[in-house]
Structure formats: structure tokens, C-alpha cells
Amino acid sequence: MVISSNVRIKILTVFFLLAAVLLLTRLFNWQVVKARELSRLGASQHQTTSTVAARRGSILASDGFPLASAREAWLVWASLKEIKDSQKVTKQLATLLAPDPEPKEKTSTQSGVLTDAILDERTKEELIAEEEERIGRLFQKEDVVWVPIKHKITKEVKEKIESLDIPGIGFDLEEDRAYPEGTMSAQVLGFVGKDTAGSDKGYFGLEGFYDLTLSGTRGIKSWEKDASGNPILVGVSRNIVSMEGLSLKTHIDRTVQFTIEKHLREGIEKYGANGGTVIVMRPQDGAILGMASYPSFDPDNFASSDKSLFTNPGIGDSFEPGSIFKVLVMAAALDSGIVKPEDKCECTGPHRVAEYTIRTSTDKYYPGSTPREIIKNSDNVGMIWAVEKLGTDKLLEYLYRFGIGRPTEVDLQGEASPDLRDRGEWTSVDLATSSFGQGVAVTPIQMVQAVGAIANNGRLAEPQVVDGIVGQGWEQDVKPRIGEVVLQNKAVEQITEMMVGAVDYSLARWSKPLTGFRIAGKTGTAQIPIEGHYDKNKTIASFVGFAPAPQEGSGQAAKFVMLVTLREPTSSPWADATAAPVWFRIAEDIFPYFGIQPE
């Protein structure tokens, strides 16, 4: 059969048309129907996404020195399938990753009191054996191809492991925290731990309070890569910029901090105390120049520290202040005009209040005492005379204005504030005992803030640690929080002179080199309440003072106010033999630093 050429052309045309339709159908299928799926598959091959970590901000001292800063650290991990001899690798890693044994701390030769708690007595060999067991357990995990072995190892340890050239062992960059000044100001700084999601989070102190500011925000980087993994410049890329954490510039003066920590440690050892706190504040603006408590913890090794040490006693522990509280009560009495400097108290002997008889600490009495003499002699009976004239309502009003009974809102995480009893709950006994600082509770920071108002010409300045926030190329000051006027000028001058007199009265006994300086201060020895009664032997010894004490009408300002408290000193329960000498030894060192000269 002969097919004509026209027919052949038509058959071919139909054939080609069918082929074209088939092709178009297939193209439609790949480019429209399966477009999304294929695009995703393609992207997974040539698109790569990585998280850009945000470096945590630093915490700087007043001179810009980093007290805490971000440090490069590494996560060491193992790809289990590539580990050939797991026992050998375990031994090799354990030797390098086992922690160092805790240093043995010295004990006091005088009183046998430990200066730091010994928490761990394991030897290096025991620690290596424990580490070996831990790593061995990780390597024995089934259905797992990858295990993290240890987080936050240092660069030096990483390099040592790398030099072993173990197949299957790798490293991921992490961030750790460095503390160039060691344990100094640990309880002010706080530490960085992990939250429930495994991300870094600050706890306690500045790390806790300013966690959000310090943390920063992670970024995401997404780009197309070629077969070698290099970025394709003309390809699609997406970049969400990371924001590094902001840094904090604090008021903490390293010299002051170093000095108070050194003398506090020495004082605790010398006087056999359980612990103690020192706070130094600039009264004009509430700047915390130094804050130390002992015992403390190592923020670089917080996991193995006693958790009870994380709370900063300077802001979190309350105590009955004892006689240091007298300056606030007497200042209130003078400011209200109810007590005048020339008034005299009978004060012939013990004072009966309800069913109680209240005596002076020495059982000595000073009939006809003026307020100045009451403060000088730390006369409990004289104070009852003053507070009974003042009355509960006025006393509570002034205490509240001094900041007692409410948080200072200092920028540190962990502040506690004991409540003042409601007006209706105050009895005559409570009024009497509160005049000499028993039956009321304060935190050290509240006490410093209150006495700071006297040093600042009657105006309360709320304590503050952070001076400014520092970013990339910018800095913003944190304004001081200046509160209300608590005392008028006249009362400030009167109480200041009384406190100067109180210091001069015993200055020769405490510290001779400090003669000629105008220091306003007060000792306080408070009994510790235990199960409804006061312990006869245990005390909290305190000294609070400011210098240079302004002369009447001079316009001069005190450069600092400082509180020293020692808990349960055993060499002597009295503050004038324990806390006061520590205060004066610190003052001796910081007077030249502050340019405070003798008169």
C-alpha cells in the first residue's frame, strides 16, 4: 500500500504534536504540581542555615575593667560510630576532662574557724576514675550516634584533646564566663547557669537582675552554597543580624572592693566570726562602691559551691541591728522637734516596760544624760526615754521614710525586705526595744541607705550598682534615684555631731592612726533571736559610719558611708572590739584613696 507524502506529513505532525503535549504535561507536572517539593529538596541541597550566637555582655568595674566577660569555650562531642577503641578513648579523655581537686583551705590558727568551707576532698585519681566512668556510660548508649561529652571546656584543654587526634571526637564553639578578679564581688555579680531549655541564664546579683540586657539576641544566616560548601554570592541569602548583649558599667571601685574583701576576711579570721558583710556606698547618689560578704562562692565553679552562699547577705539576709539603729531613732526624735539637744533624761536605772525590765548593756546608768551623751554611752534606757517621747506613729513614719520595712530596690537579684509590724501590732515593749534596734529587722543595705541619708544632708539616695549601659560605640548613663528629704539640716547637723562624739569617745582604743579625722559612726552589738528568745552568747557586731563627717555649715559632703557586720564573733561579742576595728582598718586604707585628710 502506498501512503502519499501528504498523509505521511500529517502522521508525523500528529506524532510531534502528541510528543509536545506529553512534554508539556511532564513539564507542568515538574514545574507546577511538584514545584514546591522539588524546590524544597533543592534548597536542602544548596541552602544552608546557621545560627549566629550573640555574645553575652560584660560587667565592668567603675574603671572599665571587666569583672565578668564572655570567654570562648567548647563543647567536646563524640560520633559513636567513628570511635574505634572506646575504652582507650575514655581513659584519654578522662585524664584531660577530670576537674582539678578543690584546694584545701587554711584554717584559722586562733579560733579554728574555717575561712572557706571545704566541699570536696577527692584526689585527682578519684576524680579521673569518676570521669572515666561517666564518659564510659555515654559511649555505651544505644540508638544514639552522637553524644555530648563535656560542655564549656577551655581552649587549652581543647588543644590537648586535638593533639591526641582521636577519630570521631569533635568540638562546637560555646560561650563561657571569665572572672579576671577571681571570686572578688562574687555575690554582687551572680553567675550564669542554664535555664530549662538549656540556654544561658543569669542567676542572682547583676547577672540575674540584668539577664535580659546582658543576653543579647541570636541571629540567623541563610545562604546558597555550591558543591564545595562555599557561599554563592549571587544566590539567595537571608540575614537576621544578631544583637550582642549589652555591657554594664558599675559603680564598683576595684580598689575599694579589694580592700574591703581583704579586711573582712582577715577580720572574720581574727575575731572568729561565722561570716560578715561590708557595704560601702556614696551617699550623694547611692552608688555602691563596694559590697562584700564572707563566706562566698566561686562564680566560675558555682555548681560545686554550697547553694546557700548564692544569696548575697548584704541584700538578702535580715538581722536585728542593735545599737546602730539608735542613730535613726534619735535623728527622728531630733528632727520632729520632740527631743532637743539640751533635753535631759532621768536615766537613773533600769527601765520597766510592761512586765519587762530593760537595762543598759553594761548595767551602768547616766542620770541627766543629754541626747549626745545617750548616743555616746549607747544608753538603752536613754533611748527608751527618747522613743517614748517620739511615739509609735512618728517612729513608724520616720522609719518608713528612712527606707526601713520596704525594699531598697537595689539593682541586684535576690533582695529581701523584712516587714515592719503594722501599727496595730506594736506594743509598748516593741516601741521600747526598737529604740535600741531589737525587735526590728533590717538588711545591711537598708541600714546603709538609712544612715546614708544622714551623710547626704538628710536626703535619701537609693542604692544602685550599675552606673551605665554600654553598647557597640554608645553608652547610656543610669540615672541615680534620689529620694525624699528625711531630715532637715538642723537635725542632720545635730545627729552628725553626736555620731562624731561617739567615735571620738573610743577612737583611741580602736585605731590610733585615725586620730584627727572627722568620722561619724556608731557601734551596735545585737543579740540573735533563736526560737523565741535571745541567745546569751551569740551576737551580731556592727559598725556603721561615714567620713569625712561634714562640719556644721561647711557644705562639705561625706565621701562614703560604710557598714561592717560580723556574725557571731567568738573572740569578743562586742562590736567595739570586733566590727569597729575592721571598719577603721578599711578606713585607714581608703582614706588616702578618697583624698580624705585629717583636720
Partner 1 sequence: MTKFKLYTLGQQSSNVKFGKKGLWIVILSFLGVVFAGQLIVSSVLAGKGGELAVLQNRTLDLSRQNQYLKQELASQTSLLSIEAVSRKRGFVKPESTVYINLSLPVASIIH
Part of the chain binding partner 1 (CB under 8 A), chosen from 242-250, 342-350, 419-427, 591-599 = 591-599
Residue 280 lies near partner 1 (rule: CB under 8 A): no
Is there a contact between 297 and 354 (Cβ–Cβ < 8 Å)? no
Q: Binding residue for partner 1 (CB under 8 A) from 139, 171, 258, 505?
A: 258
Nearer Cβ to partner 1 (162/181): 181
Nearer Cβ to partner 1 (120/266): 266
Residue 595 lies near partner 1 (rule: CB under 8 A): no
CB of 226 to partner 1, least distance (A): 6
Residue 5 lies near partner 1 (rule: CB under 8 A): no
Q: Binding residue for partner 1 (CB under 8 A) from 47, 62, 69, 488?
A: 69
From residue 358, how far is each of 37, 345, 361, 385, 442 by CA, in Å?
88, 15, 9, 12, 22
Binding mask 72-91 for partner 1 (x = CB under 8 A): x-------------------
Residue 593 lies near partner 1 (rule: CB under 8 A): no
Rounded to a whole number of angstroms, the distance between the first and last alpha carbons of the chain is 136
Residue 592 lies near partner 1 (rule: CB under 8 A): yes
User: Which amino acid is located at 224 in the chain?
Assistant: E
Site for partner 1 in 233-252 (CB under 8 A): 233-234
Q: Binding residue for partner 1 (CB under 8 A) from 42, 148, 167, 180?
A: 180
CB of 435 to partner 1, least distance (A): 38
| CA neighbours closer than 13 Å in the CB half-sphere of residue 422 | 2
Binding mask 211-230 for partner 1 (x = CB under 8 A): --------------xx-xxx
- Residues whose CB falls within 8 Å of the CB of residue 224, separated by 6 or more in sequence, listed in order: 46, 47, 48, 231, 232, 235, 236, 237
Residue 504 lies near partner 1 (rule: CB under 8 A): no
Nearer Cβ to partner 1 (37/226): 226
Cell of 349: 536605772
Report the distance separating Cα 379 and Cα 485, nearest Å.
28
From residue 323, how far is each of 142, 266, 458, 548 by CA, in Å?
66, 24, 20, 21
Q: Binding residue for partner 1 (CB under 8 A) from 43, 66, 86, 361?
A: 66
- DSSP string across 270-322: HHT-SEEEEEEEETTTTEEEEEEEES---GGGGGGS-GGGSS-HHHH--B--G
Pairing of strands 247-250, 59-60: parallel
Is there a contact between 130 and 101 (Cβ–Cβ < 8 Å)? no
Nearer Cβ to partner 1 (76/454): 76
CB of 181 to partner 1, least distance (A): 5
Part of the chain binding partner 1 (CB under 8 A), chosen from 232-240, 342-350, 398-406, 456-464 = 232-240
Q: Binding residue for partner 1 (CB under 8 A) from 54, 94, 98, 184?
A: 184
CB of 231 to partner 1, least distance (A): 5
Part of the chain binding partner 1 (CB under 8 A), chosen from 67-75, 269-277, 458-466, 562-570 = 67-75
CB of 69 to partner 1, least distance (A): 7
Residue 388 lies near partner 1 (rule: CB under 8 A): no
Pairing of strands 356-358, 351-353: antiparallel
Report the distance separating Cα 446 and Cα 315, nearest Å.
8
- DSSP string across 489-555: HHHHHHHHHHHHHHHHHHHHHH-GGGTT---EEEEEEEEEEETTEEEEEEEEEEEEEEESPPPTT--
Residue 349 lies near partner 1 (rule: CB under 8 A): no
Report which secondary-structure segment, H or E, holds 48.
strand 47-52
Q: Is 407 helix (H, G, I), strand (E, B) or coil?
A: coil
Residue 426 lies near partner 1 (rule: CB under 8 A): no
Residue 302 lies near partner 1 (rule: CB under 8 A): no
Query: What residues does 240 pair with on adjacent strands?
Result: 220
Nearer Cβ to partner 1 (473/592): 592
Site for partner 1 in 151-170 (CB under 8 A): 155
Nearer Cβ to partner 1 (72/343): 72
Residue 140 lies near partner 1 (rule: CB under 8 A): no
CB of 70 to partner 1, least distance (A): 7
Scan for cell 520595712, then name that residue. Answer: 405
CB of 471 to partner 1, least distance (A): 17
Report the distance separating Cα 256 and Cα 596, nearest Å.
14
Is there a contact between 466 and 411 (Cβ–Cβ < 8 Å)? yes
Q: How many residues bind partner 1 (CB under 8 A)?
A: 30
Residue 174 lies near partner 1 (rule: CB under 8 A): no
Q: Is 222 helix (H, G, I), strand (E, B) or coil?
A: strand
Residue 598 lies near partner 1 (rule: CB under 8 A): yes
Report which secondary-structure segment, H or E, holds 135.
helix 124-139
Nearer Cβ to partner 1 (109/230): 230
Residues near partner 1 (CB under 8 A): 65-66, 69-72, 155, 178, 180-182, 184, 225-226, 228-234, 254-255, 258, 513, 588, 591-592, 597-598
